[in-house]
Every structure is written in C-alpha cells, then in structure tokens.
C-alpha cells in the first residue's frame, strides 16, 4: 500500500508546474493536483 503524498509536495508541484511538469504532464494532471490540495485542506 502507498503512503499518502505530503501536502507540501502537492503545493510545490502546483507552484512549479510551468517550470517542471508542463512538458510532460497536461492540464488534466494539474487539475488532479489542485483537487488533491483542496481535499487535503
């Protein structure tokens, strides 16, 4: 079983999306990260 993703990791992913993840991941994946942040809050 996987351990939960720490909240700070999701925040960093969201803030650095354009620099790091945009080339590999799309808008759907970014939306998923934002939904996970909302659920954790």
Per-residue pLDDT tens over the stretch 11-38: 999 999 999 998 999 999 999 999 999 9
- Residue in this structure with the two tokens 């990791």, named with its chain if needed: 9
* CA distance from start to end of the chain: 23
Q: Per the structure block, which two tokens stand in for 31? A: 């939306």
* pLDDT band for position 4 (cuts 50, 70, 90): confident
Q: Is residue 2 part of a domain?
A: no
What total number of domains does the chain contain? 1
Q: Note the pTM of the prediction, 2 decimals.
A: 0.75
Handedness of CA 16, 21, 23, 28 (dihedral sign): negative
- Residue in this structure with the two tokens 């799309």, named with its chain if needed: 26
What value does the mean pLDDT take over residues 8-13?
91
Q: How many Å apart are CA 11 and CA 6, to the nearest integer?
A: 9
Q: Is residue 30 part of a domain?
A: yes
Which structural domain, as residue segments, surrounds residue 23?
Answer: 7-40
Instruction: Indicate whether 1 pLDDT > 70.
Output: no
């Amino acid at each position: 079983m996987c351990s939960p993703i720490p909240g700070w990791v999701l925040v960093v992913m969201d803030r650095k999306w354009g620099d790091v993840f945009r080339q590999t991941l799309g808008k759907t994946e970014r939306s998923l990260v934002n939904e996970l942040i909302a659920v954790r809050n």
